[in-house]
Structures are given as structure tokens and as C-alpha cells.
Amino acid sequence: MNYILFDGAVRNALLPFTYTKPVADIRIGILTIREKWEKYLSLTTTTITEEYLEEKYPMVEMAENIMINASFCPTQKLVEKVKELSENEAIFKGDNVIAFFSKDTQEEIDFNEYKHIEFDDELIQVKNTWDIFSLNAKAIQQDFDLLTKDRKSQPIPEGVQCINKENIFIEEGASLTFATLNASSGPIYIGKDTEIMEGCVVRGPLAMCEHSVLKLGTKIYGATTLGPYCKVGGEVNNSVLMGYSNKGHDGFLGNSVLGEWCNLGADTNNSNLKNNYAEVRLWDYESKRFAKTGLQFCGLMMGDHSKCGINTMFNTGTVVGVSANIFGSGFPRNFVPSFSWGGASGFSEYKLNKVFEVAEVVMQRRNMVFDAQEQRILEHVFEESKSFRNY
């Protein structure tokens, strides 16, 4: 069977992260949503996404296909139901379709003609940007159970203090020196070739993906994910760094999500709680206004390739788009459009040629190439996001 992950109705609610990737490639827990499905299915998947992303994330369609709503994270029971689907059958959770059987000749789907299979078990569904950190503890636990089942951890090095050792898993090549790991409130997963430097204090759940680093004296308060090749220092609470992003120095990051290729300058801090303890509102790309989150704690949402200078201060519930460069004193606005250059004193448009120069250098540092395909994606996002740059 051929499995295809589709963005679905939540794509716009997950901007700015879905400007540059399909919903399936959002990281929550240890793995991306795509990686979770492929691990359970033991098969590769393809994607239905925005047209300008299709070159990088193509779809492969066969005579018979099972289409999967990428906003849902899999469980063993759900995957079994998905594998059992046959023609004219669809799995629903409430009003939301999870998966359905499709033929390549079908141009439109009328679910009234489908047999509805209701799935009642609890599932993780990523419907909003803040779900990525809010549901991260559950996602880490699920991925930890999946990845470590019937496997043995590498030994915990001498000099590392641990609580609840059975909830700690260390992959090959990881380096830990004189750290404190407390896995009593959630698992701690330390991936391949990662490094935890001296003096780090970690309270789970924590997911460190391959080649990620906790720098000297870092404090992790839990429900935090470091994607591949991320470097983190200072104080972090309930945050997700999707990959190739750095918060390498002192400063606080809490209840936040950073995309890929982001960098926070030294002593950058974000607020995750309003002074009056009121509900946090976040910028909504569809309504073009700030919308309620239902959360008291909500920090920074930063899209791919965005950066900020030293001592940057982000207010509660700040959304930063793709390829923004923020610097200077004072609090920048709570919504910084993509391709913005500046700070609290004002913004101008970040020129594309400069964006490309920086992206090329940054990706070279990780032995990756900023190619014409990546350039075309950013060019499209630049045009698509132009209406928001009303400086």
C-alpha cells in the first residue's frame, strides 16, 4: 500500500512553520510527524502540500493509496486501523478525517459515500503552533517508548548523577560529563553523537536528537526537544527547536518553538507570562489579527532562518516569521512579519539577496548546501508574506 500524508485544514494555523515545510515535517517529541508514521508503518511516505513545496516534497501516487491527515500523530492501534482500510472507508475522530482509502482516478472525495470508522482513543493532534510545545511531553513519552522498545541504553558515564535511571536512554556516540539528569517527571532521550557538557542540570522530559549539544551549565526544566544539530545554553523550559537552530548562551526560552536555522543572540530572553496573568493572544495569519490561545503561558514562535542579536527581549506571545533579522534595544512588536530587518525602533524589508547570502553561509557551517530549490521556496514565501510587511 502507498501512504500519503496531507496537510489538511490546519496548514495555515501552523504558519510560520508551514511556510517552508509540510505539516508532516513538523517535529514534536523526538521525531517529526512523518518519521513517526514511517517508523510505525516500516515504509516511506510522500506528501500532498502547497504547490511551491512540491519540488522538495513530492507526492508519489499509485493505483491505490491511503491518505493520512498529517496533523495526527500515530499510535500502534491507529496504525493497525489505517492498515486495515479498504475502498470507500475512512477513519474519523469527531468531524476530523484521520485517514481514507483513495484511488488515483479519484479527483474529488465525497465522504458521504464512505463508510465512517470512528476512532475513540486519545490522539495527539497538532492543530495550532502552540500545540507543538503544549503536547510535547506526551509526544516525547510516546516516541521514547517507540524508539527504545526492546533496546538497551548505552551505560551512564561515571560522574553523571541520575534519578530514575530506567527512564534515561543514551544512544551510541553520546558524550556526558558531570551532569545531573532527573527523569522522575519524564523520560530523557540522548541521541547519537550528542553532547551534554559539564554542569548541566536536566529535568525530563527531554529529547536530544543527533549531534545536538547542551553547553556548560545549561538548565532544562522539561518537555523540551532539541532537533538535530541544535546547540542550547542558559535556561530552557517546555520548548521545541526543530533542527539546526542555536540558543547557545545564557538567557531564558520558555513555552516556545523555533524552526530550523534560527539563532538567538547571547542573553536573549522571552516572556512566557503576561504581567497581569491574562490569557495570551498570538498572531493569526488567516484572520490577520491576534487570536486567543487559551493559554496563560506562551512565549516565542520563530519561523525558519530567523535570527536575533544579543540582549533581544521578546514579549509574551510573539510570532516571528521566516528570515527575519531582529536587533536593538527594547521589545520588538508581538508580530514580526517574514523578511523583516530591525527591531523596536522600526523595521524595513530584508532584501532577498542578503537573505540568500546569510542562508548559504549558515548552512555551509553544517555541511549543507543552500541550493536553487531552497532559494525558490524562500522567494515564494517572500512574495506570499509581502502583504504583512506594512511598516
Structural domains counted in the chain: 3
User: Do residue 48 and residue 110 come from a single domain?
Assistant: yes
Evaluate whether residue 123 is within a structural domain. Answer: no
Output the domain CATH number for residue 249. 2.160.10
User: Do residue 85 and residue 135 come from a single domain?
Assistant: no
pLDDT over 90 (residue 304): yes
CB 244 within 8 A of CB 226: no
Sheet holding 300-302, edge to edge: 168-170, 188-190, 206-208, 224-226, 240-243, 257-260, 300-302, 318-320, 335-336
How far is the C-alpha of 362 from the C-alpha of 377, rounded, in Å? 17
CB 100 within 8 A of CB 91: yes
pLDDT bin (cut points 50, 70, 90) of residue 107 is confident
User: Do residue 169 and residue 209 come from a single domain?
Assistant: yes
CB 187 within 8 A of CB 141: yes
What does the angle CA 203 – CA 140 – CA 152 come to, to the nearest 5 degrees? 85
Domain range enclosing 354: 261-391
**In angstroms, what CA-CA distances link 131 with 38, 46, 157, 240, 300?**
22, 24, 35, 11, 13
User: Do residue 323 and residue 363 come from a single domain?
Assistant: yes
pLDDT bin (cut points 50, 70, 90) of residue 67 is very high
User: Do residue 12 and residue 136 come from a single domain?
Assistant: no
Evaluate whether residue 137 is within a structural domain. Answer: yes
The mean-pLDDT minimum among 96-105, 180-189, 270-279, 379-388 falls in: 96-105
Determine the pLDDT at residue 268. Answer: 98
pLDDT bin (cut points 50, 70, 90) of residue 108 is confident
User: Do residue 359 and residue 377 come from a single domain?
Assistant: yes
Peptide bond into 205 cis (omega under 30): yes
Q: Which three cell numbers stand for residue 231?
A: 546547540
The residue among 118, 143, 174 that closes a domain is 118
